[in-house]
Structure 1
Amino acid sequence: MQSEFLGDETATIRLWSLSEDALLEVDAAGAALLVVTRWGEFDVSDADGPARELLRRMELGPVFLGNVTGIVPGGREPGTAVAGREGGGPAGFERVLDRVSGAVVHSLGLANGRRPLLSAIPVVASPVFAPRRIGPLRKARLSRFAALRSADDALVLESPRADFRVVLTQPAAAQVAASLAAPATAAEIAERVASPVSVVADIVGYLVAAGVVLAAGRDRGFAEDADPVLRPWSHHELLFHVRSRMRPPELAAEPPAGEPPPETEEPAGAAGAYPLRRPEAGGLPADRRPLAELLEQDHVWPELPGASISAGQLGELLFRSARVRSAGPAHPRFGRGLRTSQRPYFAVAGLYELELYLSIEGCAGLPDGIHRYDPVGHALTVVSTDAAARRELLDMAKAAAGSARRPSALITVTVRIGRMSRVLGGAAYAIALMHLGALQQTLYLVARAMGVIAHAVPVDASDRVDRVDRVLRLRWPAEVSVGECVLAGRS
């Protein structure tokens, strides 16, 4: 492989810039200076002249501090601390950058002035970026939580544990990152990718500082591997946790101009409708068990009896747990064109993204098959009459329940994420799972009050989830299955 570095191009330099969503605001007199970021507004009016000029240039793109301040980092080491101004007077550039660290992008460039090799972009409000030289013989490796993906026509390296996501602008940086899937030294990688050892070491140092790469300890091991707090977490679960709490700017849910609001009307059934029993809309009959008693009684894993749930019982259960009581326009804060509804279980913003599908076999008064519940009409609409497909779903539920019998009815809950994503952004899926829990709890309590069984089961559909989606005729990933609940009568 031919090296893309020639002559003096092997000298790396540190570059600073402001993130694309950061703005500088100066008053008419030129005295007050604000840095407006996604984390809030920061008053840096006490910044001196060089610091103000530095911020102005950083807003335009990556800059070398020496070109602005006349203070040059010592040596070629990217991690060399840059001396700030001393004393108690106006803030120097170092303290100013620390104050707005959540909007400062750290790039590693070459002395030839071309595009940076990589850029570390903050994803938290107050990150600390302290690169240090990684010796050519010291092992390093990608964090097991790190992932490479494409974003905005660039390769991005990120981790839910990291305070920065790294944009690998140049092929050399991408090659180094890919070479760290297994432990390797800068010297080994340099030989593999035909790049100078010094450049590779500086790239690795930046990746370590960003939190996406680990440097081996004195025992040549990696602290992350032995951390008991991290051991239970998988990459996907930790990433989901982080992303569900705050949506990154590049994943903003704002729709393109002119795009219609998400689908909020209930979809029509494929064929025939079966109206369900409508009990009195008031409270449960006097002979039913009170809520306080249900909440105080121990929960036990139910044995599925031979008795099936009847059409009347199923109708009452769904009526008291999941029907639409009323509907109307959404609150203005959630945008125009959205409709909300009121149902027995709680849902943020009232958008109700959950759908219920029922696989029924041997329920008196109802035909065998897979049906979708219509919460507006309180009826079942046929989705499929394929006996083999229905039994496959019921067998999965039987195994999950640890039962010798196949349940007479199974509720499969799905999510239509488009109903929520515009309003709730990156938290939409996490909140959908919260709503699933609220629905399952409501089904469980109503069923116990009625004297029937409704119990959530941990179905493992890892090898058949695509089959479930096809059987239910879901438009994946616009609608995805998220949970199951078995239903049965009591002997």
Structure 2
Amino acid sequence: MRSEGEPGTVHLWSLREDVAIEREDDGGLLLVGPWGDERIGDAHPVLREALYRMELGPVLLSNIESTPGVPMLGAGLYLILLPALRRLSHLIVRTLGLADLRGPLLSVLPLTRPAVFVLPRLGETEPVRLHRGVTLLLEAKGFRLERGGAQHRVLLHRPEPMWVVAMLAAAVTPEAVARALPLPRTVTREILEYLAAAGMLVRGSGSGN
């Protein structure tokens, strides 16, 4: 659990940098990306606003407004947005951050047309470790994790996810990771879940690659 005063996590959504949105004459949207075009006919105003904002950078879905000054709150927002965004998963970068104004923790970038990003639920005592094929590479603004055959790449923006990755050379439980690191338990869990969703982790006690 998160202690009082500790920043919570935020889940942000953006389009890949090589995706552009074009408005068609009939009011539909055309998303032009690296694997062809995706057409959305008669897009709901809240979806249209979400995509326009996601083209500019990471956004918090709960902040999306279908009409300026009129936020759409609650289940209605997600009933409209999530099915549409799930279909566009291969064009969407998912970012995990902390509500501390210090920038994102990590981002997951889709690399293939079939790429689907679904956060799993990890058991507290379920062993996890890095796939043996994962490589850690230095970039100008942080590190990246990638694995041959994986459908996603992970960009590490801050030290906190690096601390978690360093614990994963051998099988370890989320509970043990949380005890070992000076991070709220929810933060370590969600970092692990993002890594698992990106295909970077082996789950369970098996000897998978």
Class of the TM-score when normalised by the shorter of the 2 chains: 0.7 to 0.9
Indicate yes or no: 2:108 matched with 1:112: no
- The residue number in structure 2 matching 1:68 is 64
User: 1:161 touches 1:211 (CA, 8 Å); kept in 2?
Assistant: no
Indicate yes or no: 2:89 matched with 1:101: yes
- The residue number in structure 1 matching 2:154 is 166
SS at match of 1:125: coil
**Percent identity among equivalent residues?**
37
- The residue number in structure 2 matching 1:12 is 9
> Residue deviations 1:203-241, cap 9 Å, x none?
10110010011221xxx325x25xxxxxxxxxxxxxxxx
Q: How many equivalent residue pairs?
A: 200
Structure 1 unaligned regions, length at least 5: 74-81, 85-91, 226-491
Within the candidate set 39, 42, 52, 2:35 is matched to: 39
- The residue number in structure 2 matching 1:25 is 22
User: Residues 8 and 30 of structure 1: is their aligned pair in 2 closer, same or farther, counting only changes over 3 Å?
Assistant: farther
SS at match of 2:53: helix
SS at match of 2:104: coil
Deviation at 1:113, TM superposition (A): 4.4
Indicate yes or no: 2:43 matched with 1:55: no
Q: Judging by fraction of residues, say which structure has more strand.
A: 2
Indicate yes or no: 2:180 matched with 1:192: yes
> Residue deviations 1:67-100, cap 9 Å, x none?
1163558xxxxxxxx842xxxxxxx322332332
> Residue deviations 1:169-202, cap 9 Å, x none?
1110111112111111222222333112221011
> Residue deviations 1:131-183, cap 9 Å, x none?
12323322110001111101343200111132110001111011111211111
State TM-score, norm by structure 1: 0.38
* Letter aligned with residue 108 of structure 1: L
Alignment of structure 1 residues 227-306 onto 2, 5 Å: none
Within the candidate set 184, 201, 204, 2:189 is matched to: 201
> Residue deviations 1:232-273, cap 9 Å, x none?
xxxxxxxxxxxxxxxxxxxxxxxxxxxxxxxxxxxxxxxxxx
User: 1:133 touches 1:202 (CA, 8 Å); kept in 2?
Assistant: no
User: Residues 72 and 149 of structure 1: is their aligned pair in 2 closer, same or farther, counting only changes over 3 Å?
Assistant: farther
What is the alpha-carbon root mean square deviation over aligned residues? 2.2
- The residue number in structure 2 matching 1:147 is 135
Alignment of structure 1 residues 392-403 onto 2, 5 Å: none
* Letter aligned with residue 6 of structure 2: D
Alignment of structure 1 residues 340-379 onto 2, 5 Å: none
SS at match of 2:160: helix
SS at match of 2:6: helix
* Letter aligned with residue 8 of structure 1: E
User: 1:16 touches 1:105 (CA, 8 Å); kept in 2?
Assistant: yes
Indicate yes or no: 2:181 matched with 1:180: no
User: 1:135 touches 1:201 (CA, 8 Å); kept in 2?
Assistant: no
> Residue deviations 1:367-417, cap 9 Å, x none?
xxxxxxxxxxxxxxxxxxxxxxxxxxxxxxxxxxxxxxxxxxxxxxxxxxx
The structure with higher relative contact order (CA 8 Å, sep 6+) is 2
SS at match of 1:181: coil
2: CA distance, partners of 1:211 / 1:186: 16
Within the candidate set 125, 135, 138, 2:126 is matched to: 138
Indicate yes or no: 2:110 matched with 1:122: yes
1: CA distance, partners of 2:178 / 2:81: 35
Indicate yes or no: 2:206 matched with 1:221: yes
Alignment of structure 1 residues 398-437 onto 2, 5 Å: none
User: Residues 221 and 94 of structure 1: is their aligned pair in 2 closer, same or farther, counting only changes over 3 Å?
Assistant: same
State TM-score, norm by structure 2: 0.86
SS at match of 1:7: coil
2: CA distance, partners of 1:140 / 1:44: 38
User: 2:28 touches 2:43 (CA, 8 Å); kept in 1?
Assistant: no
1: CA distance, partners of 2:43 / 2:82: 10
Structure 2 unaligned regions, length at least 5: 66-71
**Based on CA coordinates, which of the two structures has the bigger radius of gyration?**
1
> Residue deviations 1:305-349, cap 9 Å, x none?
xxxxxxxxxxxxxxxxxxxxxxxxxxxxxxxxxxxxxxxxxxxxx
SS at match of 1:121: strand
Deviation at 1:128, TM superposition (A): 1.2
Moved runs in structure 1, 4+ residues, more than 6 A? none
